[in-house]
Amino acid sequence: MIFLRYSRVRRFAWLAGLMMLGATPLLAAPALYDFTLSSIEGNPTPLSTYKGKVILLVNVASRCGFTPQYAALESLYEKYKDQGFVILGFPANNFASQEPGTNAEIKTFCSTKYNVTFPMFSKVSVKGEDTTPLYQFLTRKANPAVAGEIKWNFTKFLVDRSGSVVARFEPPITPDSPQVVATIERLLKQ
């Protein structure tokens, strides 16, 4: 009789434990809003800060043939920011050492050369063994349709208001291309 009660209690505890594990966020797949990265000034910035916005995430570099895209990015940001759109820039030195500067140097370059006002983050790695968790998520887990290794600077990921990664644009596709603008405008209306 004592053994029977112990078994029932033990089974109940085991089932309760399983139910709790199923509800534990630690076991759930990561979502975009789960990440916190340092701003270019070094302040921890949770991506949940941008919840409810349409987000364009871009890995950027100051000495790249695509660097002039900063101007189009800033123009796009200025045009749509009041409608719930934000661009997040992530400097990365993964390709031909085209982002060798410090965070302070990158910030100065962006603000003086391209008048960048959209949020910039501290330098990250977007490829290789030291890939930052955000870019591991974007390239492997966020959406199979946009998965794949980052091939170069200025790869763009577009995120809808619910935090789902819905599109990826490779570096040659400029931020002001009809394809990118149409997708942003469609997401802003949702």
pLDDT tens for 39-85 read 999 999 999 999 999 999 999 999 999 999 999 999 999 999 999 99
Q: Residue 86's beta-bridge partner residues?
A: 55
Active-site positions read 64
Distance between CA atoms of residues 49 and 19, nearest Å = 30
| Domain of 2, in residue numbers | 1-29
Question: How far apart are the C-alpha atoms of 170 and 153, rounded to whole Å?
Answer: 9
Instruction: Say if residue 78 is in the same domain as residue 111.
Output: yes
25 and 90 share one domain: no
**Co-location of 24 and 37 in the same domain:** no
Residue 178 is encoded by which pair of tokens? 């009809």
CATH number of the domain where residue 149 is located: 3.40.30.10
pLDDT class of 29 with cuts at 50, 70, 90: low
Is residue 89 located within the same domain as residue 137?
A: yes
Cα distance between residue 26 and residue 24, in whole Å: 5
Look at residue 8 in the predicted model and tell me its pLDDT.
Answer: 47
Q: Are residues 21 and 59 in the same domain?
A: no
Do 89 and 13 lie in one domain? The reply is: no
Q: What 8-state DSSP symbol labels residue 151? A: -
Take residue 186 and report the two structure tokens written for it.
């469609």
Q: Which two tokens stand for residue 105?
A: 């140097």
Residues 87 and 176 in one domain: yes
> Is the domain of 90 the same as that of 146?
yes
- The answer for residues whose C-beta is within 8 angstroms of residue 14's C-beta and 6 or more apart is none
What is the distance in angstroms between the CA of the first residue and the CA of the last residue of the chain? Answer: 61
Residues 105 and 165 in one domain: yes
Do residue 68 and residue 96 come from a single domain? yes
- Please determine, for residue 181, whether its predicted confidence score (pLDDT) is greater than 50: yes
86 in the same domain as 3: no
As a whole number of angstroms, the distance between CA 139 and CA 129 comes to: 13
Domain count for the chain, please give it.
Answer: 2
pLDDT at 11: 45
23 lies in the same domain as 39: no
For tokens 């990826």, the residue is: 168
Average pLDDT value over all residues in the chain = 88
Global pTM value: 0.84
Inter-residue contact 99 to 63 (CB < 8 Å): yes
